[in-house]
Amino acid sequence: MQGGGVLTKNLNYSFAQDYGFRDHDRFTEILRFADRVGGMSAVLECMQKVYHIQHGAQMFVDKEVSRDLAMTDMSHVQLDEIPFPQESLEFYFEDPELPTVLVYRGTMREFVEKLKIPATVIKEDSEDDADSINFWVESSSGPGMAFRARVSNWHEVVGDSKRCETLKGSISFSDEEWAQLRVIYQLIIKVLAYASIPYLAPREIGKKGLPRGHGKPGVKGRPSRPILRVVYLPEQSASHDGGVSHDGDSTKAFYGRRGHMRFYRSPRYKHMKGKFQYIAPVLGPNGEVPRTVYKVRKPKTQGVK
């Protein structure tokens, strides 16, 4: 990405380990300095990393999971419907092409209270009490980007908005780069939905359970926190997709099937209300799945040809 170089796999927690975690007064000074120099983006970076060191967990996503979810469409889901196993999660993808993202869920006011930050340090705004999902990514050269997803701008995350609301001090991304970043945020939402399904629930592992060279504690100050591994279970997904078969006497050529993640809201779904259902993608003969295509049917109007 042009905005700040290549986004990194290993976020830098070193300063948060040195000061924020061990010296609260020093942390408060850093926040004031960050606000003057880097604006709200730098402040959120400091807060998220310090909180994560104390209370967070890593969500390690197997490469096959992120691959299948990239080929999966998701019904429009609201911010308050996204399940979070913990408030602070570091998403580390086994896929080397995907960057690491630090995510915090909650209101800004709660965030400030949990870290015991003086009210004079963080300027309150009208949305301090609004539930938000805070994403942080950073480039290999250092600068990063904070993005606060709230109800007021949720369409920028789940829709196809060409612009994003950047916080003061963030890297300035081009429209094309923002589109790529939005795909990563959407992938994280799908991972959370996937992991909330009981038969696909992540497994807690120790650092020895991580693949060699991936997401280990200690790299750039990464804290030693619980690790939730989101594993690839194709046999489980297949057994829960309704038994769809593609073998038979159909004369239509099969080109593959995109996956689908559905959230049930209606009370008529007594056993599924408030839950996600996942139907895994099925690759076609060429190893791909069809692109998402929306067909619009024109309604027939009486008396009009």
Beta bridge partners of 138: 144
Mean residue pLDDT across the chain: 81
3-state secondary structure of 184: helix
Q: What integer pLDDT is reported at residue 116 of this predicted model? A: 85
Interval 186-225: pLDDT, tens: 999 999 999 999 999 999 999 999 998 899 999 999 999 9
Residue whose structure tokens are 């995109």:
258
CB 304: neighbour CB atoms within 10 A? 5
Interval 113-142: pLDDT, tens: 888 888 777 765 555 568 889 999 988 777
Min mean pLDDT across 127-136, 145-154, 249-258 is at 249-258
Tokens of 35: 């606000």
Q: What integer pLDDT is reported at residue 274 of this predicted model? A: 92
- Looking at the chain, the whole-number percentage of residues with pLDDT higher than 70 is 77
Backbone torsions φ then ψ of 144, nearest 5 degrees? -135, -175
| Sign of the alpha-carbon torsion through 229, 200, 277, 267 | negative
Give the pairing of strands 259-263 and 72-74: parallel
Q: What integer pLDDT is reported at residue 72 of this predicted model? A: 94
Establish how many alpha carbons lie within 13 A of residue 255's alpha carbon, considering only the half-sphere containing its beta carbon: 5
Helix (H) or strand (E) segment spanning residue 110: helix 108-114
Question: What's the maximum distance between 2 C-alpha atoms anywhere in the chain?
Answer: 78
Q: What integer pLDDT is reported at residue 169 of this predicted model? A: 56
pLDDT tops 90 at residue 2: no
Interval 40-81: pLDDT, tens: 788 888 889 999 999 999 999 999 999 999 999 997 899 999
What residues does each domain of the chain span?
14-230
